[in-house]
Amino acid sequence: MQRDFTSFFERFGWPKDKGTLPFCIGHRGASGHARENTLAAFRLAAELGAEMWELDTQLTKDGVVVVSHDDHLQRVFGVDKRISQMTATELAALDGVDVPAIEEVAALGSETGTGLYIELKAPGSGLRCWQHLMEKGERFACLGSFDTAQVRELREAGCDYPLSVLVRVGDNPNAVGDEAGADILHLCWERAGERPQDLVTPALMDRAFSAGREIVLWHEERRPILDEIMKLPVLGICTDLPDMMRTMSGGEGKFGRQR
């Protein structure tokens, strides 16, 4: 079965000649090679062939959207402080801490021609991200979250960017998609055993496609699995290692995928 993505690209104003589908989405940038969610990791991902970057949002004490998976800085930077308890100026002044503002990452995306696949962590960050994207006229972007309420907030506010809902192992993807009002089902199933690809069944895909939704897959760094899932008719695949995905063969063209 051929999957044609042309209408999706036209609907949301995404570039029509950007790379080969499924898109390589650098998970927190090229986080397998560089410190996650930093400008260096994002730039490297683009250099290694990623069409998009997956990135996470937090809010500073004064309401500035910054890019970090965690609110706490301990895991990534070894600093016992929380982003939500500091102003953006205080955060920027910390030695050895590189947490970029969403504006900086978006500017780098425009410079490199890379799309933004934004995972909303902090409640309230979605509307701010959407506003910035609109102001800059940046269409190659997606907004999503595990939190269906955050996705629904954007849907009800009239957001005209594609909205993604992240789906945990064991949850019903299409039911979660209905609850969120999402355009994309992002299956976060990297921990679902030795062959998570077996869970992406024809019935699951057919139901998603019939509801007008596309599918994005988890971050995958196991080469045999990556080789298999690249043959699926999905919009994108996340990976810590964009170079692994982009040195592999896979696919029949830019806007179609055989199944």
pLDDT digits (tens, 9 = 90+) for 16-68: 888 789 999 999 999 999 999 999 999 999 999 999 999 999 999 999 999 99
Q: Which of 29, 13, 51, 164 is nearest to 104 (CA)?
A: 29
pLDDT of residue 248: 62
Q: Is residue 247 over pLDDT 90?
A: no
CB atoms within 10 A of CB 35: 15
pTM for the whole structure: 0.94
CB atoms within 10 A of CB 47: 12
Q: Are 27 and 240 in contact (CB under 8 A)?
A: yes
- Domains, the chain: 6-58+113-246 (3.20.20.190)
| pLDDT tens-place string over residues 157-187 | 999 999 999 999 999 999 999 999 999 999 9
d(CA 154, CA 162): 10
Instruction: List the catalytic residues.
Output: 27, 69
For the stretch 78-86, contacts whose Cβ atoms lie closer than 8 Å and that sit 24 or more positions apart, written own/partner, are 83/58, 83/59, 84/58, 84/59, 84/60, 84/122, 85/61, 86/60, 86/61
In the chain, the DSSP E strands lie at: 23-27, 52-59, 65-67, 115-120, 141-145, 163-168, 184-188, 214-219, 236-239
